[in-house]
Structure 1
Amino acid sequence: MKAKVEDSSRPPLREIRVIIGGISIGQSSKSRKTYLKVVQNVQLLGRSLRTRGADEQAITFMDEDAERVHHPHDDAIVITLLIAEYTTRRVLVDNGSSADILYYPAFQQMRLGRDQLRPVNSPLVGLGGMKVQPVGTITLLVVVGAYPQQITKKVNFLVVDCSLSYNAIIGRPTLNSWKVVTSTYHLSVKFPTEYGVGQVQGDQLAA
């Protein structure tokens, strides 16, 4: 006898929402309210007002993209970027970070002076609730990908003086700016460029 199939039309008991908190660096209360109205409008319309280019490229991941990755794994995507003309290894790609972070030891190795830092008042709040006050913020030129499928853009980094395994973290502000698509399974990131889809493979050993 077949097991009785539960009625899927039965209403749920309650709704469990996501955990949220903190504010994005540099956002005032007024700008957040304006942004909220725009998002609500997009939800109502069912589409964004962003114009879609006719030459937009489809970004896909194939089985071949995972051939050089050991499976199963739960490794993070750790890549190498060119930051301020320095080859910078151990850069974490973090979709969960609302900021782009450069750790102070890497900042020092780039021979950048503290006088180049701009002050910032908003602390970073980690998952454990611990607050870290950034040393400052700095705008640096970053290159991702290999020529000619590469992107060169300025990134606003928060410089943080604390001990961590990474030299930098690339978060949502830059990932969205680059239109990056990430795949943790493939340990890879892909992004559109004028010369086709660019790709950076994560370093599984570093991860």
Structure 2
Amino acid sequence: MIVGGTAIAGSSKKARKRYLRMVQSVQLTSSAPNFTRVDNPSIGFSEEDAQRLHHPYDDALVVSIQAGDYNMHRVLVDNGSSTDIIYYSAFQQMGISRERLVPTNAPLVGFGGTRVYPLGVVTLSVTMGDYPHQITKDVIFLVVDCSLAYNAILGIPTLNAWKAVTLTYHLMIKFPTEYGVGELRENQIAVRECYVAMMEMDDHLQMMNIEEQRTVVELVENLEEVPLDDSRLERTMRIGTLASQSAQQALVTFLKENKDVFSWSHKDMLGIDPSIIVHRLNVSPSFSPIRQKKRVFTPERDQAIAQEVQKLQEADFIREVYYPDWLANVVMVKKANE
């Protein structure tokens, strides 16, 4: 089961609470908001639908769809997923630019409680079924960087939007179309291939893609601190001590001759070209900008903030703006050196 993402409940705590209140209201009053009802053909399954399958089986429902201009195989149909997912490896093979990804801060919570943060959201046109009994609609996928045998997951949002009915015994999906009931059967060979691939996959690789592993590394050699500017003794560099004395001396001489390439303070990095590095805020465009109420800091913190802001202004890293669209308070973080 996969919980979270961009489901109707929303990604913010306030939106989730609002959705819960709406559900409770419907349960208590037995009434829901009116919406246009469309007559659809009745959908049913028969024993004939279960033919051409290898029995007995406990296979997952894996199908092929057309996503954009590509025929995508190994798509898992998951009635327990609250979102639609496409894995980053498939996203790359489709040649989609990362600029199409819309940032999102909605984490996914799966088996074992592990949190996975998507790379972003992308909307793709998906076609399912055979002509003329087929359906084409835009699907909002969360792009997730994990190592799995599947290329994508179709979850509850798409199944509900398409009014699709899944049946694991028949290993197929049926859905209403303008020309009757469409159907999509699974490929049992692809399911078995996915199963074998998952069993042979390195567990450590999967965990590395889901959650960052912290490794404590010991130093292989002691470091010696040497001054590079005799007039400014605080400008130092640390070098290894395993090299020979002549190699160490040659390295120190080289560093002193090129000491002007090092940045010792903000003032030494005036005017960084945006083509080298740019910092952008990972803010979802679906959220309205909010001005935070100004916090009151202690005199010690106020002084530290003023000094840091002054350094950044003198180096042209930041500039003062008026009437901002949004405003956030300064966050103080104590470093290891106090």
With the shorter chain as reference, the TM-score category is: 0.7 to 0.9
2:82 to 89, 98, 102: 98
Please report the RMSD computed on the Cα atoms of aligned residues, expressed in angstroms.
1.9
Whole-angstrom CA distance in 2 between matches of 1:63 and 1:46: 36
Aligned length: 187
CA deviations on 1:25-56 (whole Å, 9 max, x unpaired) are 34333333333233233333546544433x32
Q: 1:133 offset after TM fit, Å?
A: 1.7
Q: Give the structure with higher Rg (CA).
A: 2
Change (3 A) 1:87 1:21: closer
Q: Is 2:191 the counterpart of 1:178?
A: no
Alignment match, 2:289: none
Q: Is 2:113 the counterpart of 1:122?
A: no
Given that 2:4 and 2:107 are in contact with CA atoms closer than 8 Å, whether structure 1 keeps it comes out as no
1:157 to 141, 144, 153: 141
Paired AA for residue 146 in structure 1: D
Whole-angstrom CA distance in 2 between matches of 1:126 and 1:74: 21
Whole-angstrom CA distance in 2 between matches of 1:21 and 1:191: 23
Q: Is 2:107 the counterpart of 1:113?
A: no
CA deviations on 1:84-130 (whole Å, 9 max, x unpaired) are 11000000000001111111111111111112111111222111222
Q: Is 2:117 the counterpart of 1:133?
A: yes
Whole-angstrom CA distance in 1 between matches of 2:2 and 2:155: 16
- TM-score of the aligned structures, taking structure 1 as reference length: 0.83
Change (3 A) 1:126 1:21: closer
Paired AA for residue 65 in structure 1: D
- TM-score of the aligned structures, taking structure 2 as reference length: 0.52
Identity %: 57
Alignment match, 1:64: 48
Whole-angstrom CA distance in 1 between matches of 2:43 and 2:189: 26
Note the residue ranges of structure 1 that are not aligned, 5 or more in a row: 1-19
Given that 2:122 and 2:142 are in contact with CA atoms closer than 8 Å, whether structure 1 keeps it comes out as yes
Whole-angstrom CA distance in 1 between matches of 2:57 and 2:86: 26
> Which of 20-29 and 184-193 deviates more?
20-29
Q: 1:139 offset after TM fit, Å?
A: 0.6
The structure in which a higher percent of residues are strand is 1
Alignment match, 1:7: none
Whole-angstrom CA distance in 2 between matches of 1:47 and 1:206: 44
Alignment match, 2:319: none
2:27 to 17, 25, 43: 43
Paired AA for residue 199 in structure 1: E
Whole-angstrom CA distance in 1 between matches of 2:27 and 2:141: 31
Whole-angstrom CA distance in 1 between matches of 2:174 and 2:3: 29
Q: Is 2:37 the counterpart of 1:52?
A: yes
CA deviations on 1:121-151 (whole Å, 9 max, x unpaired) are 1222111222222111111111111111111
Q: 1:168 offset after TM fit, Å?
A: 0.4
2:180 to 165, 174, 196: 196
Note the residue ranges of structure 2 that are not aligned, 5 or more in a row: 192-338
Alignment match, 1:14: none
Alignment match, 1:31: 15
Change (3 A) 1:146 1:41: same
Whole-angstrom CA distance in 2 between matches of 1:70 and 1:86: 28
Given that 2:3 and 2:110 are in contact with CA atoms closer than 8 Å, whether structure 1 keeps it comes out as no
